[in-house]
Structure 1
Amino acid sequence: MSAPFEAASYLFRSERRVRVLELLAGEPRTPGELAAETDASEKTVRRALGRFEEFGWVRRTGRHYEVTEPGRAVADRAHNLLGTVDAAATLCPVARWLPDSFDVDVGDLADVRVTVPETADTAAPARRMVEVIAEAKTVRAVAFAVAPGAIEATRHSDRADLVLTPEAVTFVADDPELRPQFRTMLAAGWGVRRFDGDLAYNLVVADETVMVGLVNESGAPSGLVESTDEGVREWADEQFEHYHDRAEPLDPERFSE
């Protein structure tokens, strides 16, 4: 076993060891303080600190231990790696349905949330999407399907810009409850356009939150991916502009009585 691999293996075999190094990256601490903050015995903490000293990650200054610059780098990378593993595990149930254009670094998705349909609650992804939209002041969306309650939730935002496929437009225009809601949105000057092309997912940007509604091979909802990561927002902005620029303004007469 190489020295770097041995050091990494030692660190990652214990969540408390990672936590000790992260705490020291914040500020110097005594073994007693570290023991209290990690819920470990002081003996265990001292043993870990001894190994960290061997690796050159920490040094002792009186009663305290402080992290070295190499140790700080290890702490940062350890945090990022664990975040990547956690995000990958969260995305695993829906990863195969993510669009090919979703080229976001998984390591940046520390806050990613995935809502999947359950046997007893197949509408969970759609309901979660509506919950987020209802709290947003601005909404942008590209959609081939309209979730129950989504139009009503969007109508209460300060501004909305929507790009809908012909199927979604027809669904709204033929629904006696949704049609007047849509007329109100159009009368308020909100942007609604029609995209005559293929769309394999629903995209919603509600304030700072990006939501990607996925479907499986049969076209059934397979999950909702949700994140506020800057990289995801940049991707979502690009996708929205791509479809928006290729869409045509919607004729308001389509939603007349």
Structure 2
Amino acid sequence: MTKDELAQFLASSPDRQQLLTHLVDHPGSPAELADELPLSRRSIQRHLGQFVERDLAIKDSGKYRLTTTGSHVVDELTTYLETLERIETYRSFLGHLPDMDHTPDPRWLESASLVTATKENPQAPVHEYLDRVREFDTDRIRMISPVLSRLFHDVHADLAMDGVHTELVLDADMVERARDLNPVEFKIVVSVGVLDLYRHPESIGFGLTLGDEQLLMGAYDDDGHLQACVHATNDEFLQWSTDLFERYRDESELVESPFSLPFPFRKDT
């Protein structure tokens, strides 16, 4: 049996998948399996015969159990189905990321949380981002953003007042827009030592904010509206995100400060 034939055999019947998975921990006779599963005995007997023909199961003293091959197949099938389910759950997030190079492995999303924009609450992911960032316990934040937002600016300004240093990557157009919107504020912000601003030469189509042990990743639509926000603590996701941030930062040019100002104040002083 070829891999394509095996894949077709498993995919063509949810009942077959259910029975095969059940045999992992519950070997049994056709009668016992019929009592344990919402399947007819006749259907179970037919599937069991097919499993034996394909060396996925063996009959031993009237009971059917998986072979080693069958156990491996079930492990891979379970992982595959769980991954598909996770992809579907995070469709609104994954579907708005630029490409596969900017897409985390779905397996890393197992314990993540997702908030998406809805017709009733289009700002839900924005508020999720703000609430989560306020909870960051860190001395440094690394950030990539495709947009300018006063809401984001305000919450990160509060963190700066608490002594949190930020490395921020914006594309060249966003840097110039920030400079044009408020030239005086722009000069002050990049001069007081709380922000390292980097100008990336190409447009940016995602958002990323990294703390020490957690991250936020945002997916945007073509109009720059945040459609989904993911919060995660998975170590592999964190490492991948760190590598992604460093790649963008290394491709960028540091925006030099026009002058230097002290920044001695803190909220607790």
Whole-angstrom CA distance in 2 between matches of 1:218 and 1:140 = 26
Of residues 196, 206, 214 in structure 1, which corresponds to 2:199? 196
Q: How far off is 1:205 after superposition?
A: 3.4
- Under a length normalisation based on structure 1, what TM-score does the superposition of the two structures give? 0.66
Match of 1:214 in 2: 219
How many equivalent pairs are there? 240
Identity of aligned pairs, percent?
A: 21
Whole-angstrom CA distance in 2 between matches of 1:213 and 1:110 = 17
Q: Secondary structure at the match of 2:199?
A: coil
Whole-angstrom CA distance in 1 between matches of 2:7 and 2:163 = 50
Structure 2: where are the runs of 5+ without partners?
Answer: none
Whole-angstrom CA distance in 2 between matches of 1:202 and 1:196 = 15
Q: How far off is 1:203 after superposition?
A: 0.5
1:196/1:22 CA distance change after superposition, 3 Å:
same
Contact 1:97 1:216 (8 Å CA) reproduced: yes
1:43/1:204 CA distance change after superposition, 3 Å:
farther
Q: Secondary structure at the match of 1:196?
A: strand
Whole-angstrom CA distance in 2 between matches of 1:28 and 1:14 = 20
Q: How far off is 1:110 after superposition?
A: 5.0
Q: How far off is 1:23 after superposition?
A: 3.8
> For 1:103-122, what per-residue CA distance to the aligned partner results, in whole angstroms no more than 9, with x for missing partners?
54456655566533112101
Indicate whether 1:123 and 2:123 are aligned: yes
**What pairs with 1:45-194 in structure 2 (closer than 5 Å)?**
45-62=44-61, 64-95=63-94, 97-100=96-99, 101-102=101-102, 104-106=104-106, 114-133=114-133, 136-138=136-138, 140-144=141-145, 145=148, 148=151, 151=155, 155=159, 162-164=166-168, 165=170, 166=175, 192-194=195-197
Q: How far off is 1:142 after superposition?
A: 0.6
1:222/1:24 CA distance change after superposition, 3 Å:
same
1:21/1:219 CA distance change after superposition, 3 Å:
same
Contact 1:195 1:243 (8 Å CA) reproduced: no
User: Which of the two has higher C-alpha Rg?
Assistant: 2
Whole-angstrom CA distance in 2 between matches of 1:208 and 1:98 = 23
1:244/1:4 CA distance change after superposition, 3 Å:
closer
Contact 1:115 1:128 (8 Å CA) reproduced: yes
1:8/1:36 CA distance change after superposition, 3 Å:
farther
Q: How far off is 1:46 after superposition?
A: 4.0
Whole-angstrom CA distance in 2 between matches of 1:222 and 1:206 = 21
Contact 1:129 1:211 (8 Å CA) reproduced: yes
Contact 1:126 1:147 (8 Å CA) reproduced: no
Match of 1:242 in 2: 247
> For 1:180-204, what per-residue CA distance to the aligned partner results, in whole angstroms no more than 9, with x for missing partners?
xx9xxx9xx9x74222335432202
Q: How far off is 1:6 after superposition?
A: 4.7
- AA aligned to 2:96 is W
Match of 1:17 in 2: 16
Indicate whether 1:29 and 2:27 are aligned: yes
Q: How far off is 1:236 after superposition?
A: 0.2
- AA aligned to 1:126 is V
CA RMSD of aligned residues (A): 4.5
- AA aligned to 1:193 is D
Greater CA drift, 243-252 or 118-127: 243-252
> For 1:22-75, what per-residue CA distance to the aligned partner results, in whole angstroms no more than 9, with x for missing partners?
3434x3532567556654455544443232122111113335433212212211
Q: Secondary structure at the match of 1:203?
A: strand
- RCO comparison, higher one (Cα < 8 Å, 6+): 2
- AA aligned to 1:69 is T
- Under a length normalisation based on structure 2, what TM-score does the superposition of the two structures give? 0.64
- AA aligned to 1:55 is R
